[in-house]
Amino acid sequence: MSDEINGQMYPVLIGLMGCGKSSIGRLLAKELGLTFLDLDHYIVEKAGQTIPGIFAEQGEEGFRDLETRALREVLGTPVVIASGGGVVMREENRTLLEAHAPVIWLKSSLHFLANRIQGDKNRPLIAGRDALTVLQQLAEVRYPYYTQCADYILHRGEMNKAASLHAVLEYLKQWKYENS
Ligand code: S3P
pLDDT tens for 99-115 read: 999 999 999 999 999 99
Answer whether residue 7 shows pLDDT above 70. no
What integer best gives the mean pLDDT of the chain?
95
pLDDT for position 5: 44
pLDDT for position 61: 98
Answer whether residue 151 shows pLDDT above 80. yes
pLDDT for position 158: 84
Residue ranges with strand state E in the chain: 12-14, 35-38, 79-82, 103-107, 152-155
Would you tell me the crossing angle of helices 131-149 and 91-98 to the nearest 10 degrees? Answer: 50
Q: How far apart are CA 147 and CA 114, in angstroms?
A: 21
Q: Is residue 29 a contact partner of residue 36, using CB atoms and an 8 Å limit? A: yes
Q: Mutation test of ligand 1: which of 54, 67, 125, 135 has the most ligand atoms closer than 8 Å to its C-beta? A: 125
- CA 3 to ligand 1 centroid distance, Å: 26
